[in-house]
Structure 1
Amino acid sequence: MSKSGRPREFEDTTVIDAAMEVFWKNGYEACSTDDLCKGTGLGRGSLYNAFGSKHELYEQALLRYHRAGIDAQIDILRRPGRLRERLRALLEWAIREDFSDAGRRGCLIINAAMERAQKDPAVERIFKQHVDRLGQALSEAIEEGRNAGEVPSGRRTSELAALFLSSYYGLRVLNAAAQNRGMADQVAEGVLNVLN
């Protein structure tokens, strides 16, 4: 969050983006102030004057990643078309994201939750916002699919949304850990088969 008196140049998202890359590569605990200075191009004093602490910069980086990522995922679920195709598009988006860079870093929000959610209320809060928003968008998409006759009878919207959500996040953790694109494609197809 902005503090009054903070120099305007540090409001630029390029600094937060650069810090996000450093945290994404190293994680929070292993990320030193020197790493952040090198990554952002700021001196130690400028970095702390601008953001107050390593943790505040980390929180800003996570929020930026969360907002961009969740908006992209929700946009996919709100597209016109059949439910199965929207869910497939979301899974394919996740697989592309998870396998798109040489470092195979996985999802920054999931990484942060695995590393720090139990001991860091800010990380827990951001991850919960992420999951809650995606879960709500899934429920809305599934309900639309139900109204269009695309959901098997006897399957409740809340049950299908929870199943898809847990499978989706499980897939993303598996992608980061196993780094097996063929397995990711098989898992995605299996998840979609619950709509048969």
Structure 2
Amino acid sequence: MARPKEFDPEIAVDQAMEVFWRKGYAATTPQDLVDALGIGKGSLYNAFGSKQALFLRALRRYRDSQTEALIEVLEQPGPVKQRLRGALTALAEMDLADPDHRGCLAVNTTAERAGVDQEAAEVLRRMLDRTEEAFQALAAEGQRAGEIDPGRDPAALGSMLMNTVVGMRLVARVAQGPDRLTRVIDATVDSL
């Protein structure tokens, strides 16, 4: 009897995330996951329980890595508007460099699953909340430093910046170059 192939569940979550990101939840079959992870269906279900459970783990992994990366850029030293421009530019460049134009897994999942999958919606809400809170903190810091009008509501600015990111990530899926996204970034930073 052949010995079952061992696999690292953490690596498997990353591999599954790539499949879900490329195909979306509904279009990803258990066979797609088995093929990508290089394991049998029994191992897939024994390790993760279900396609949905694996998807939620992958979505949480994406949420944590993307949010942490954005916050890391926003918390670097330097002028607030420069850091904001750097964060928005990094997102645009990452999306435009992707030959598959996958966009953002969280934005894609929001469009596909938020109305039908409450567990995924909660993961996504937390990502949006953390992103908005980071932008709100950046706006408040900019106000204290005199870079942003102190009369503006930092919470409203945080919401606007988070919404800008969501829109940029969608536009990047069909953009044929950086021009439109560069205009969005310039207008956003200038509006502060």
TM-score (norm 2): 0.92
Mapped contact 1:83–1:150 kept (Cα < 8 A):
yes
Query: 1:153 offset after TM fit, Å?
Result: 4.2
How much does 1:10 deviate? 5.4
8 A contact 2:144–2:150 mirrored in 1: no
Gapped runs of 5+ residues in structure 2? 1-5
Please give the per-residue CA displacement for 1:36-90, whole angstroms capped at 9, x wherever unaligned.
1100101011101111100000001101111111000011111111110111011
SS at match of 1:103: coil
Structure 1 letter corresponding to 2:15: A
1:87 aligns with 2:122: no
| CA-CA distance at 1:179 after TM superposition | 4.5
CA RMSD of aligned residues (A): 1.6
Q: Which runs of 4+ in 1 moved over 6 A?
A: none
- Opposite residue 34 of structure 1, the aligned amino acid is Q
2:39 to 37, 42, 48: 42
Unaligned runs of 5+ in 1: 1-8
- Which of 15, 20, 33 is equivalent to 1:18? 15
Counting aligned pairs with the same residue, the percent is: 36
Q: How far is the alpha carbon of 1:178 from its aligned partner?
A: 3.7
> Which of residues 114, 117, 134 is equivalent to 2:131?
134
Conserved 8 A contact 1:135-1:165 = yes
Q: Deviations over 1:128-150 (max 9, x none)?
A: 11110011111111111101111
1:124 maps to: 121
SS of 1:99 mapped into structure 2: helix
Residues matched between the structures, number: 188
CA distance in structure 1 between the partners assigned to 2:130 and 2:154 by the alignment: 16
